[in-house]
Amino acid sequence: MPFDFATVTPAIVDELAAMLGSHAVSADAAQRDQRSHDVSGHHARAADVIAWPQTAEQVAQVLKFASDRRIAVTPWGAGTSVEGNPIPVHGGILLSLERMNRIVAIHADDMQATVEAGVKYRDLNRQLEPRGLFFPVDPGGDATLGGMLANNAAGPKALKYGATKDNALAIEVALCDGRVIRCGSRSIKQSSGYDLLHLFVGSEGTLGVITQVTIKLAPLPRCVSAAVASFGSVVDAIQCVIALKRSGLDIAALEFMDAGQVRMINQVEGMTLDARPTLFMEFHAPNAQALEAELALAGMVCREQGAVSVRATADPAERQRLWFARHNAYTIATRVHAGERFLTTDAAVPISALAALIEFAQAELAQRSLAGYLLGHAGDGNVHVLLPYRDEAGYAAAQAFNDALVEKALNLGGTCTGEHGVGLGKVKFMRQEHGDALDVMLALRRLLDSNGVLNPGKVLPVEL
C-alpha cells in the first residue's frame, strides 16, 4: 500500500472549518508542534492541520473527507504513547479526540461506564471513587480511553484485571466511508456474530477511529498491601514469579526490576532497597484477615525460592512509597540522565522464558557498552529496558539493541510488543511474527481503508 497523499491546501483547511466550525480547526504552528511527537524517541513530524471533532458523526465526516481526497489522517488522544503511534509521519490532518471527553453514563449497579474516547482514565477514576469503583487498567501516562483501546494498553495491574481489551464491552467506531458503527454490547456475556470489537482494539487507528466505549469497572479494594523481595540472581527472581503464580495467590501486580534500576531508585529517592534483582508485589483483599494470609503465603513462597530479603506492609504511606518507585521508574531515570532521551523496549515472552530474555538483555547491554535499566511486568512476561541516549549515534545503538532483543523474544515464542503497540518501531517485525496472517491483516486494512489514509506508516509494513 504505497503512500501517495494529497497536500493540505488553504482551501482544504477552509472546507474542514466549514464542516466542523472555525473554532475546531487550526493550522497554528505551535499547536501542530505540540502534537508532533509522543514520549518515544521517534522523530517528531507535525501535521498540516488539526481538527477537533466533537461527535462521532463529525469524526466520520472528517474520515470520509480525508479518504475521498487521499489526505493522511492521524488520530490523537493525549500523546502518551511510547512507540510513535500517534505521530503524523505523513503530515495531513491530525484528528484530535481531546474535546470528546464526556462521561456519558456510569452504570454503577452493573459496574460499567460509557465514555467518549477523549476521557482520560485518571479523570474517570476521580469521578468513580465516591461510588467505590475504579477502572483498573493503569498504563502509567495520563492516557485517554480511546488511546488505551487503540493500543490495547496494559500496565502493572493487568495481572489481576487484564489489559484494556479485557475490560471493553462495547465500542462506537467511525469508518472511512462515513459510517458510525457499534460493536459489542453492555451484556457481560456475548456470543453474537464476529468479534468486531476486538478487531478495532489494538489496531492503532488504522481501521477506524474509536469514538466511544463501554468499559467494565471494578470495586475499589478495601485492603491493599505491598511486598518487595530481593534475590541473588535473575533466575531466582523469575523462578519465584512462576512459584507465586502457581501458588493460587490472587496477586494484583507482580513487577521486576534489575539491580541497576534499584540502585538508581535508592540514589534519587533516598530509599534503602537491596540493590539486587527485585520483585514488587501488590495484593488487593476484601478484609485485613485475607490480606494478612496472602502476605504470609507470599513471603513463604519468596523465601522458599531463595529470596535474600522480603519486606511487606499494609501501611498506606509505606506502600505508596514502595510503589512510587516502581510507577515513577521512567521519571527517576530521566532525572539521573538529565539532558538525554530514552528508548523504551517492550518485548514479551512466556514466563518460563522470561529469565532467558532478561539474561540476554543484560549480556547484550554489557557487550554493546550501553547503559540500560530493566524492569517490567514479570507476572505476564513483559520486559522493558530503558535506554538513555544523547545523539543520533546513541539512538542508532539503542535501536540496534532493541532489534536484537525483539529477535530473541520472537525466538523464545514471544512477541515484539506486549503493551506499547506496533507504532513505528515494530513494523519491521510484523512479517516475522505473524507470517501469512499478515496478509489477512492487510486485506482487512484494504477493506476498511481502501485509500490507506488512516494513521499511515503504523502497524503494517509499507511494502505490503
Rounded average pLDDT over 199-223: 97
Residue 426 has pLDDT above 90, yes or no: yes
pLDDT of 315: 84
**How far apart, in whole angstroms, are the C-alpha atoms of residue 311 and residue 271?**
13
Residue 73 has pLDDT above 50, yes or no: yes
Kindly report the CATH number assigned to the domain that includes residue 307. 3.30.70.2190
Rounded average pLDDT over 403-416: 98
Place 123 in a pLDDT band, splitting at 50, 70 and 90.
very high
pLDDT of 2: 57
Give the three cell numbers for residue 191.
456470543
Q: Is residue 462 part of a domain?
A: no
Whether 17 and 109 share a structural domain: no
Q: Is residue 454 part of a domain?
A: no
Q: What are residue 415's DSSP bridge partners?
A: 348
pLDDT of 322: 79
Q: What is the DSSP letter of 33?
A: H
**How far apart, in whole angstroms, are the C-alpha atoms of residue 422 and residue 399?**
14
- Give residue-wise pLDDT tens across range 238-247: 999 999 999 9
Whether 242 and 348 share a structural domain: no
Our count of domains for the chain comes to 4
Residue 395 has pLDDT above 50, yes or no: yes
Give the three cell numbers for residue 182.
457499534
Q: Are 183 and 400 in contact (CB under 8 A)?
A: no
Whether 325 and 375 share a structural domain: no
Note the Cα 281 to chain centre separation in Å: 20
Residue 290 exposed, middle or buried by CB count within 10 Å (0-12, 13-18, 19+): middle
**How far apart, in whole angstroms, are the C-alpha atoms of residue 147 and residue 77?**
6
Q: Is residue 283 part of a domain?
A: yes
Residue 463 has pLDDT above 60, yes or no: no
**How far apart, in whole angstroms, are the C-alpha atoms of residue 196 and residue 199?**
5
Whether 185 and 288 share a structural domain: no
Q: Is residue 441 part of a domain?
A: no
Whether 342 and 403 share a structural domain: yes
Domain final residue, candidates 189, 219, 249: 219
Backbone angles phi, psi at 108, to 5 degrees: -60, -45
| H helical segments located in 270-391 | 288-304, 316-327, 329-336, 354-367
Place 252 in a pLDDT band, splitting at 50, 70 and 90.
very high
Q: Which residues contact 333 (CB under 8 A, 6 or more apart)?
A: 261, 264, 342, 373, 386, 388
Q: Are 87 and 41 in contact (CB under 8 A)?
A: no
Q: Which residues contact 68 (CB under 8 A, 6 or more apart)?
A: none
Q: Is residue 459 part of a domain?
A: no
pLDDT of 1: 47
Whether 92 and 112 share a structural domain: no
Place 199 in a pLDDT band, splitting at 50, 70 and 90.
very high
Whether 78 and 91 share a structural domain: yes
Kindly report the CATH number assigned to the domain that includes residue 380. 3.30.70.2740
**How far apart, in whole angstroms, are the C-alpha atoms of residue 283 and residue 32?**
43
Q: Is residue 246 part of a domain?
A: yes
**How far apart, in whole angstroms, are the C-alpha atoms of residue 80 and residue 47?**
17
pLDDT of 121: 97
Domain final residue, candidates 193, 219, 245: 219
Whether 64 and 109 share a structural domain: no
Q: What are residue 174's DSSP bridge partners?
A: 180, 209
Q: Are 5 and 455 in contact (CB under 8 A)?
A: no
Q: Which helix (H) or strand (E) holds 199?
A: helix 196-200
Q: Is residue 404 part of a domain?
A: yes
Place 464 in a pLDDT band, splitting at 50, 70 and 90.
very low
- The number of beta carbons lying within 10 Å of the beta carbon of residue 48 is 19
Residue 82 has pLDDT above 50, yes or no: yes
Q: Quick check: helix, strand or coil at residue 326?
A: helix
Cα Rg for the chain, rounded, in angstroms? 22
Whether 376 and 315 share a structural domain: no
Whether 107 and 214 share a structural domain: yes
Backbone angles phi, psi at 227, to 5 degrees: -140, 145
Domain final residue, candidates 182, 203, 219: 219
Q: Are 253 and 159 in contact (CB under 8 A)?
A: yes
> Out of 121-135, 311-325, 415-429, which region has the weakest mean confidence (pLDDT)?
311-325
Tell me the pLDDT of the chain averaged across its residues.
Answer: 95
- The number of beta carbons lying within 10 Å of the beta carbon of residue 230 is 22
- Give residue-wise pLDDT tens across range 449-458: 999 999 999 9
Give the three cell numbers for residue 388.
538513555
Rounded average pLDDT over 44-51: 98
Closest CA to 418 of 155, 99, 95, 231: 155
Q: Which residues contact 410 (CB under 8 A, 6 or more apart)?
A: 416, 429, 432, 433
Kindly report the CATH number assigned to the domain that includes residue 85. 3.30.43.10
Closest CA to 256 of 155, 385, 375: 375
Q: Which domain holds residue 254?
A: 223-330
Whether 72 and 116 share a structural domain: no
Whether 119 and 18 share a structural domain: no
Kindly report the CATH number assigned to the domain that includes residue 139. 3.30.465.10
Q: Is residue 202 part of a domain?
A: yes
